[in-house]
Amino acid sequence: MLRFIFAAVVLALNGCAMIPSELSTGGPFAATTPLQAQSGSHEGERVRWGGVIIRATTESNRTCFEVMGLSLDSDAAPEANDQSLGRFIACAKGFYEPALYAAGREITFTGRIEGTEQQKIGEYLYAFPRLTADAVHLWPKRRNIVYVPYYDPFWDPFWPYYYHPYRHR
Amino acid sequence: MRIRHYIVVFMVAALSACATTPPYSEEMLRAVNLTMTPEQAVQENARDVQVMWGGVIIKAANTSDHTDFTVLFYPLDNAQRPDLNQKPRSRFLVRYPGYLETMVYAPGREVTILGALQGSEEGKVGDAAYTFSVLKADKVYLWPIGDDSRVHFGVGVGIGVHM
């Protein structure tokens, strides 16, 4: 008979994966990135893309967003890093207030790749993948959050390094 | 069957300190003039001199086949990172052949550039005339935001009892 007692006293920070409901339907989503979609060969694929708004332009019955794509975390929120996945243009039906959907804000869409469009960034001719978006999620501004530490009995201090000094050999 | 008892009491304090590795190896710097400053480069209208310069991006723009930067020069520290505790020197222009995302390589970010000088160019800062040294970049290293301490401490404590 083996008895096992394991106690770990730690301060840990946990997040639960909570994809906003409007972004969690309509899948499955292709893993295609905006950079890969520049080739034009990914038309019709359904994707979930997000990033930082560069500009929102309102048209008579829709709003188009120019976005710098970023990888998404388990909540489908853009991850703040330096690895841009390429820019894209996402258009959604309806009016989205450009003063709210402002440059610098984080946003995630689901939708269909509808081809590419040549547009200039400065003087550089860039092939923007076009996304017809059916869901638009604007993320709250990041705040300087003070996390309250709590005791998590299941926290494994050695994860993800599987070096357990008390493990059987 | 014998019952084996193990009691393992375990306590670890892991302290890891990792200093930043310089982005450019000594080999890459073999032909590089490490003492040349932008002021000196303007004075001598230096051309085809290999330099490693760093600083803070002031302006970034995409041209049809280049990405152009205006950079405020700071002397580099031992890790080849711009040392923002020192006084900034003059501005210089960087021409990078190819497309870089200016939302990432954005004003305010620190870069260290390896390249060759291409003489100087007249321009303006506001209304003031300014002579910029021009650097054709082979490599533009973008430094992570913040991360200024250069040393990271990690402390872990674990206790386990195994019977």
Domain-located, residue A15: no
**Closest-approach residue (CA) in chain B for A103:** B103
Q: Which residues of A touch B99 (CB under 8 A)?
A: 124, 126
pLDDT of residue A27: 82
The answer to the question of residue A81 being in a domain is yes
Candidate from A160-169, B82-91, B123-132 with smallest mean pLDDT: A160-169
What is the Cα–Cα distance from A105 to A82, expressed in whole angstroms?
A: 16
Look at chain A and report how many structural domains it folds into: 1
The CATH class for the domain spanning B38-142 reads mainly beta
pTM of the model: 0.75
| Contact between chains at B163 and A123 (C-beta distance less than 8 A) | no
CATH of the domain at A96: 2.40.50.140
Q: Which domain holds residue A45?
A: 21-138
Q: Is A16 on the interface with B (CB under 8 A)?
A: no
A10 pLDDT exceeds 70?
no
Nearest to A8 among B3, B144, B159 (CB): B159
Residue A101 has pLDDT above 50, yes or no: yes
Residue A57 lies in a domain: yes
How many angstroms separate the CA atoms of A48 and A31, rounded?
A: 8
Q: How far is CA B64 from the centre of its chain?
A: 25
What is the tens place of the pLDDT at every residue in A102-141? Answer: 999 999 999 999 999 999 999 999 999 999 999 999 999 8
Q: Is residue A112 part of a domain?
A: yes
pLDDT digits (tens, 9 = 90+) for B12-62: 333 444 557 899 999 999 999 999 999 999 999 999 999 999 999 999 999
pLDDT of residue A155: 57
Q: Which residue has the higher pLDDT, B117 or B19?
A: B117
Name the β-bridge partners of A13.
Answer: none
In a domain, A164, yes or no: no
Whether ipTM > 0.85 holds is no
In a domain, A163, yes or no: no
Instruction: Quote the pLDDT of residue B76.
Output: 96
Q: Which residues pair with A127 in a beta bridge?
A: A118
- Mean predicted confidence (pLDDT) in A11-19: 57
Q: Judge: A157–B99 Cβ closer than 8 Å, yes or no.
A: no
**Average pLDDT in the A8-16 region?**
42
Residue A7: inside a domain, yes or no? no
List all residues of chain A from 112 to 141 with a beta carbon under 8 Å from chain B. 121-126
**Chain A residues whose beta carbon lies within 8 Å of the beta carbon of residue B102:** 121-122
Whether A147 is in a domain gets the answer no
Distance from the Cα of A65 to chain B's closest Cα (Å) equals: 15
Q: Where are the domains of chain B?
A: 38-142
pLDDT tens column, B57-105: 999 999 999 999 999 999 999 999 999 999 998 999 999 999 999 999 9
Q: Which residue of A has its CA nearest to B64?
A: A124
Across the interface, whether the CB atoms of B63 and A124 are under 8 A apart is answered yes
Per-residue H/E/C for A41-93: CCCCCEEEEEEEEEEEEECCCEEEEEEEEECECCCCCECCCCCCCEEEEEEEE
Residue A51: which pLDDT band, with cuts at 50, 70 and 90? Answer: very high
